[in-house]
Each structure stands twice: as C-alpha cells, then as structure tokens.
Amino acid sequence: MKFKASQIAQLLNGKVEGNSDAVVSTLSKIEEGKPGSLSFLGNPKYFPYIYSTDASIVIVDRNFVAEHPIKKTCTLIRVEDARIAFAKLLEMYQKAKNNRTGIEQPSFVSKSASVGQDVYVGAFSYLSDNVKIGNNVKLFPNSFIGENSTIGDNTIINAGVKIYHDCIIGKNCIIHAGTVIGSDGFGFTTDNNKVPHIGNVIIEDSVEIGGNCVLDRATLGSTIIRKGAKLDNLVHIAHNTDIGEGTMLAAQVGFAGSSKVGKNVQMGGQVGISGHLEIADNVKIAGQSGVGNNITKEGSIVQGSPSFEIGQYRRSYVLFRNLPDLEKRIKALEKILQELKQSAEK
C-alpha cells in the first residue's frame, strides 16, 4: 500500500513540511531509512540521523528545531507527539495486514460452534463444540479452541495458541504464538495424587499476552487477567491468580497460585511471586526480585530476593557489594589483635 505525505498528515492531524506528494510504501527506523520509507524521530539520541536519513517522510514533534539543513528528499510531518503518532500508524498497518476473512482448509469447526461475521480461521485450526467466536476475530493457523470457550469481538489469536475448555477471552485482545490458556495448575496432594482443576481462565477486554506464556485454569472458580493488562513473553500465571487492570508483567515473571495483584502494577523481568499473596495498586517490583510477603502499601517500589523497600535495598547493596573488602579489613584487624596478644603475653 502506498500513501502520500498529505494523507498521512490528515490521519495524524499533522502539518506537512516539504513535498506533500511524497509517497511511502514501507516503514523504517530513521537510521536505516530508505527512499519510499516512512520513519519517525522521537528520542533525542537519534536527532543526528534526521540530517542523513534517506527516508522519504519522517514524523517529528511539532516543536522540533533543525540545527542543520535536512535533505530535500526528506519531507517532515509535524505532530504533537511523534512516538504516539507513529504508534498509531503501526496499529493501522497491523490491522490492515491482519485483515483476513474466511475459513481455510483443512480446519475443523464443530456444528455446534457459533462463528461471527468477518472471522478468519487459519488452516489446521480446531473449534470444538459450543465454542462462541465474536465478530472480526482472527484465528491464525494451528489454533485450538476447547469446548464451551468464548472469544470476544476483534480479538487476535496468533498461530499455535491453545485455549482449553470453558475459558473466556474478551474483546480486542491479542494473544501471541505458542501461548497456552487453561492448562491444569500444578497441584498435588501429600500422597502425590493430582488435584483436579475444574475452574477456568477469564481474560477481560484489551489484554495482550506475549508468546509462549502459560495461564493455568483455577482449581475452583477462575484465574483472571483483568482489563488492559499486558503480559510479555514467557510469563507463567498459576491457578486462581488474579491480575489487576492495567498491570504490566515483563518476560519470565512467574506466579505461584492464588495471588491477587492490584491495578497498574509493574513487574520487571524474572520476578517471582509466592502463592496466596496480595499486592496493592501501583506497586513496582524490580527485575529478578522474589516476593514472599504481601505488599499492602499502594505505590511501593521493592527490589531483591526476598524483596524489600527499594531505598533500604540500595543502602544494603552498598554494604554487601563491599563485603570482600570488609572481610580483608577484618582479617587484617584480627592479625593485628593476634600480634598484640602475643606481645602482651611475652
């Protein structure tokens, strides 16, 4: 698809500076810009590239001031916020790319399944009995949707996603390749017998889940990912966990069962959360931290394993990073004391 600078400016409520008839057909990073490509300038670190880029169109902030001449082949579009504007274009580009409809063969759709309008079902997908698929849902190849599961309007299920029985996926969600939703939780009795997990997983609207995540079904009730939450790749959510609205979990975060996380919580990569905990709203947990106790104060920032308040952690870190030096000093003092003792005994 090709777009003129004037068309892009109209979409973004921006102003063209240069050739309004400049045409682009692809996107690029500003440092790798080529003729016919569209880029953006948002981070001051990349300002020098605006003077050398070969991109045909670059989106810049409205208040950007050029310190050197810009190539005549480069047209600027000035907007309120270049990063937000470019993200909007990326979203539009992605939607256009995913705008597929129809049921490819071979695939299986149960006679009792309900499929909405403008749905795409990729080859080798399987829709089980009593599945309900909303309008404009995209199921890419090798998707599996278990019995009695529901997927809301405009949701994208990427290749190889497996959704077990009785799970509920909301509207406008994106689930990336290889993710498993609704597998059994890790629960066994003391005599090593498996505890049946007969609950489900509920994913509310506008949730995005990265690739190769696993969300276990509840023992009873539901494992819940609430509206607007974002999960990076390789995240594990154990049975009966409740993730609050707008919460963001970076890669390799792992939960034990039945913990409840508040709204707008942020967790860095490889954070581990013990079972049956409560974490308050707006808490931030630094990467590789291990949380073994409730965090009840809203807006807390913690770090470490076991985790504690970040100010205390930093003060402690100053001490324990110097432990080898302190050990040497202690040994030197011990040697001096030993020499003094021996002198005193003489």
Q: Which residues are catalytic?
A: 239
Spatial neighbors of 11 by CB under 8 A, at least 6 apart, are: 88, 89, 92
> How far apart are alpha carbons 95 and 303 in whole angstroms?
38
Tokens 């100010």, residue located = 311
Phi-psi region of 44 (alpha: psi -120 to 50; beta: other; left: phi over 0): alpha
143: nearest Cα among 156, 167, 162, 115: 162
- Rounded to 5 degrees, φ, ψ at 343 are -65, -40
Tokens 């997908």, residue located = 125
Q: Specify the length of the chain in residues.
A: 346
Cβ atoms of 245 and 263 closer than 8 Å: yes
> How far apart are alpha carbons 32 and 52 in whole angstroms?
10
Cβ atoms of 205 and 199 closer than 8 Å: no
Q: Which helix (H) or strand (E) holds 344?
A: helix 323-345
54: nearest Cα among 19, 30, 78: 30
Q: Which helix (H) or strand (E) holds 87?
A: helix 82-97
> How far apart are alpha carbons 245 and 228 in whole angstroms?
6
Dihedral of alpha carbons 83, 287, 282, 317, sign: negative
> How far apart are alpha carbons 16 and 100 in whole angstroms?
33
Cβ atoms of 169 and 203 closer than 8 Å: yes
> How far apart are alpha carbons 199 and 217 in whole angstroms?
6
Per-residue tokens: 86: 């470019």
